[in-house]
Structure 1
Amino acid sequence: MIYFDNSATTSMAPEAMKTYTDVATKIMGNPSSLHQLGTVATRLLDASRRQISELLGVQPHEIYFTSGGTEGDNWVLKGVAFEKKPFGNHIIVSSVEHPAIKNAAEWLRTQGFDVDYAPVDAKGFVKVKELKALVRDETILVSCMAVNNEVGAIQPLKEIADFLEDKPTISFHVDAVQGLGKIAVEDFMLPRVDFVTLSAHKFHGPRGVGILVIKAGKRLTPLLHGGGQENNKRSTTENLPAIAATAKAMRLTLTDDSLKRKKVGKMKAVIYNALKAYDKVILFSEMEHFAPNILTFGIRGVRGEVVVHGFENHEIYISTTSACSSKKNATAGTLVAMNVPNKYATSAVRISLDHTNNMSEVEQFLTVFKILYSEFDKIAR
């Protein structure tokens, strides 16, 4: 089996799995309990929070644990909107955001908020000039992802941050779910960024746990009320085994991360250069200013799901656009925003690599691609 769908989810690192199992079986206390077992759990929770904060370059009290990227994104959009409603009702998000952002923004419209979408260019990069023009006195939030999940475009966060530097009343949120391990931490953990969303299963941690960085002094209306966990901002008993495993997975991911990115980039380059030689292949991702792990392409006249299943028959696993939309047969939202014609957008498939992949798998992929391309060529005529 060859797994090239790492942007959908990664395999859990064995070391992180061991941490999860050890904590789940040996530390049974609730961190909110006053007895000794609760104290042991609290110490581990604090240690995990501290380790993650050090890796991200923030303070422990700025780390909040969630159930994943979707919750974190929803919490920021809705939490900022209701916290700042007395001061403004205008939100700006990029036109290529994950559905967790877009759908939350559209729900906020029904609650009386105004939403504008910053456009992107033909390669999927946010047009900062047009984003700047959307800002007005009532603007309370700008949200932009770090790495696009569909084509891998690395967004111009520094340029946006520089523009917002003298606008302290506007909160700046970065969805970095696809960023950790794919770009340098400092490229999305910018000083001007107020909120950052992460999800553990994208960097070899467990599913169902995420991280939201809330910079000191920044306020969010809670989504969950109850026992007052997470500094009274997210009430629910902490998933301690998953949190401890997330801390381990993040440390492993960021160890020698630049070398891992180079390795992945070399594999992508081999596939990219090979696919360029085929007349009917359309490349939606590029090398420069794109994440090293994501390569999205299409074969003219062949729907993406046909290509996915063709590779699956050879036990090679890729996906159409994103995992959140692939089963719905939805056209890639990013490609639509890039003004890619529908007949080409519906052909899009995504390869997403990882440092656990290797060049022999790349060679096998290209061998199978050559076979499938010949078969598809006959069908598409």
Structure 2
Amino acid sequence: MIYLDNSATTKVLPEIMDTFVAVNETYWANPSSIHEFGHKTNQLLQSAREQIAEILRTASAKIYFTSGGTESNNLAIFGLANKYKFRGKHVLISQIEHPSIIEAAKQLVVMGFEVEWIPVDASGIIDLNEFSKLIRAETMLVSIMHVNNETGAVQPLKALSTIVRRESKAVIHVDAVQSFGKLSIDFKRYDIDAITISSHKIHGIKGSGLLALSKTREIEPILFGGGQESGIRSGTTPVPLAVSTAKAMRIASTGLEKNSTHMKNLTDELVQFLHGFERIKMISPENRAPHIVTFSVRKIKGEVIINALQKRDVIVSTSSACSSRQTKTSHVLKAMHISDDYIKGVIRLSISPLTTEEEIETFKKIFTEVMNVIKGD
């Protein structure tokens, strides 16, 4: 099998699974317990928190472990909005965010906040001029993903944060689920306030993630109970997941430069190959993340191509695994004003550091065979 759907999820690295199993076998006490066993388990948990804080350049007390990207994004939207609503109730969200941001923002409207949607250009990148027109002195929250999960478009975070700091006192949340481990990101590099990370996108284990805050920011909880995670995320902290997430982040950050170069070389090769087909339109912009190439075939449904490739043991996806089983058109593609001839035929290829040159060569051969067989409308 050739697996080119790594933006949906990645294969767990053996060393990360080994860590998960070892912690389950050795440090299975509740980290909140006051006995020595609980204390040792809590020490391991705090060590994981410190390692992540060092990578993201923040304080360990500002790392909150969650069940993954969706929970972290919800915590960011609701928790930051409630904490800083004294500054105003105006919120800016980009049109191309993940559903866990979009749907949460819609709930903010029900709660009495004013949400405006930041437009993007035809490349799926935020229009800085339009953003400058939308932001106000009373804007209190801005949420923008670093890398779009459907197209790989990279947002100009530094330019955006500069505008925010100049025009408002808003807190800036960044969904880095698709960027961490592929591009450099930390609080000081981009002058941002909150970062979402999901473990299973970086060869970690599903059901684990985190929300990190900068040293000076605070947040309100959205889950209530025993007061774990400094009162921000109640529920017994799953130490094996937290420790394996820290390890996944260490591996990803240590190999960042090498892995990014490897993936960029492979996706550049894919882009050049795909340009050879008259019926294909590139959806990913030139300024894309190193691991994603998204394109569309004119007047052909993406599912047709996916099924044809799958019969040949090649796994790809439509624009997003989160919405691929739904019939509605992607909100990201709508925001980019993709024409009707192409909007149904979108295919996303997403690779990982484990993807090989041989796999890409095999994909090119199989895809050519598929394109020679499939006819358009």
- What TM-score comes out, normalization by structure 1 length? 0.96
Cα deviation 1:295-324 (Å, max 9, x = unaligned) = 011111210111111111111111011111
1:164, 1:192 within 8 Å by CA — same for their partners in 2?
A: no
Partner of 2:165: 165
The match for 1:279 is: 278
CA distance in 2, matches of 1:64, 1:93: 22
Equivalent of 1:314, from 304, 312, 315?
312
Cα pair 2:137 2:169 within 8 Å, conserved: no
Match of 2:120 in 1: 120
Q: Which amino acid letter does the alignment assign opposite residue 373 of structure 2?
A: E
Aligned position for 2:62: 62
Amino acid at match of 2:308: G
Amino acid paired to 1:225: F
Quick check: 1:347 aligned with 2:345?
A: yes
Say whether 1:255 aligns with 2:254.
yes
Q: What is the CA RMSD across the aligned residues, in angstroms?
A: 1.3
Percent sequence identity over matched residues? 38
CA distance in 2, matches of 1:110, 1:57: 35
Aligned to 1:362: 360
Residues 230-245 of structure 1 aligned to structure 2 (within 5 Å):
230-245=229-244
Cα distance, 1:168 vs. partner?
Answer: 5.9
| 2:323 is aligned with 1:325 | yes
CA distances 1:60-95 after superposition (whole Å, capped 9, x unpaired)? 112111111111111111112222233311100111
Q: How far apart in 2 are the matches of 1:147 and 1:189?
A: 18
Q: Which consecutive unaligned segments of at least 5 residues does structure 1 have? A: none
The whole-number CA distance in structure 1 between the counterparts of 2:190 and 2:282 is 34
What is the deviation of 1:371?
A: 0.8
> May I ask how many residue pairs the two structures share in their alignment?
377
1:292 aligns to what? 290
Distance 2:131 2:270 in 1: 34
Unpaired runs of 5+ in structure 2?
none
- Aligned residue for 1:34? 34
Matching of residue 102 in structure 1 with residue 102 in structure 2: yes
Alignment partners' CA distance in 2, 1:163 and 1:83: 22
Measure the CA separation in 1 of the matches of 2:327 and 2:344: 9
Report the CA distance between 1:133 and its aligned residue. 0.7
> d(CA) in 1 for partners of 2:184 and 2:217?
24
Partners of 2:315 and 2:66 in 1: how far apart?
Answer: 29
Question: 1:137: Cα distance to partner?
Answer: 3.2
Inter-partner Cα distance in structure 2 for 1:33 and 1:338: 51
CA distance in 2, matches of 1:292, 1:9: 16
What is residue 268 of structure 2 aligned with on the other side? 269
1:189 positional shift:
5.4
SS of the residue 2:87 aligns to:
coil
SS in 2 for 1:21: helix
Residues 140 and 168 of structure 2 are in contact (CA less than 8 Å); yes or no, is this contact kept in structure 1? no
Q: Secondary structure, in 3 states, of the residue corresponding to 2:181?
A: coil
Aligned-partner SS, 2:295: strand
Task: Please give the alpha-carbon distance, in whole angstroms, between the structure 1 residues aligned to 2:188 and 2:125.
Answer: 19
CA contact (8 A) 1:336 1:342 kept: no
